[in-house]
């Protein structure tokens, strides 16, 4: 066990800050809005929060970028805050939305046979929550 006096300021902040990764698999917009809302709420609360978009949820990206989508404002806030850490390249390809994800400038991940590795988040101290 180490004492607080042995930690530098960056280490203290890391100990205090809660680290969460929200992983969206579900492709329904009413489910995905909860990912967006929770990410914004956690960010506002001082959490280190990241979003990973996987599976059927990758198709949501092309839907949210349309101006008439009522969820666009939440998506845009999340995007502006750079909370989307990874979008699955394999699933984006399978769902036919790879070009839309690229057009949105979202980071693609494929380090685990074409999919993002959740182990890297766990190893970095993140708690994984799936939707």
List pLDDT tens digits, range 105-122: 999 999 999 999 999 999
Does the domain at residues 15-130 carry the CATH identifier 3.30.365.10?
no
Question: Is residue 42 pLDDT above 80, yes or no?
Answer: yes
DSSP labels for 34-99? HHHHHHHHHHHTT-EEEEEE-GGGGGHHHHHTSTT-TTHHHHHHHHHTT-EEEEEHHHHHHTT-HH
Domain-wise residue ranges, the chain: 15-130
User: In angstroms, rounded to a whole number, what is the distance separating the alpha carbons of residues 108 and 87?
Assistant: 5
Q: Over range 5-31, report the average pLDDT.
A: 76
Residues 8-18 have pLDDT tens digits of 555 554 556 79
Helix, strand, or coil here: 112?
Answer: strand
Residues 68-85 have pLDDT tens digits of 999 999 999 999 999 999
Residue 87 and residue 106 in contact, taking contact as beta carbons nearer than 8 Å: yes
Reading the block at residue 25, the tokens are 């698999």
| pLDDT on residue 51 | 98
| pLDDT on residue 48 | 98
Backbone angles phi, psi at 24, to 5 degrees: -95, 120
Q: Over range 90-98, report the average pLDDT.
A: 98
pLDDT band at 5 (very low <50, low <70, confident <90, very high): low
- CA triplet 58, 26, 47: central angle to 5 degrees? 85
State if pTM tops 0.85: yes
| pLDDT on residue 17 | 77
């Amino acid at each position: 066990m180490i004492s607080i006096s042995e930690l530098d300021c960056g280490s203290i902040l890391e100990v205090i800050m809660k680290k969460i990764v929200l992983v969206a698999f579900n492709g329904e917009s009413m489910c995905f809005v909860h990912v967006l809302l929770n990410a914004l709420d956690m960010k506002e609360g001082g959490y280190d929060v990241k979003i990973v978009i996987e599976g059927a949820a990758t198709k949501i990206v092309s839907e949210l970028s349309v101006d008439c989508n009522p969820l666009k404002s939440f998506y845009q806030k999340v995007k502006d805050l750079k909370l989307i850490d990874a979008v699955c390249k394999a699933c984006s390809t399978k769902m036919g939305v790879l070009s839309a994800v690229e057009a949105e400038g979202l980071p693609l991940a494929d380090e685990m046979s074409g999919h993002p590795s959740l182990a890297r988040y766990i190893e970095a101290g993140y708690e994984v929550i799936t939707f």
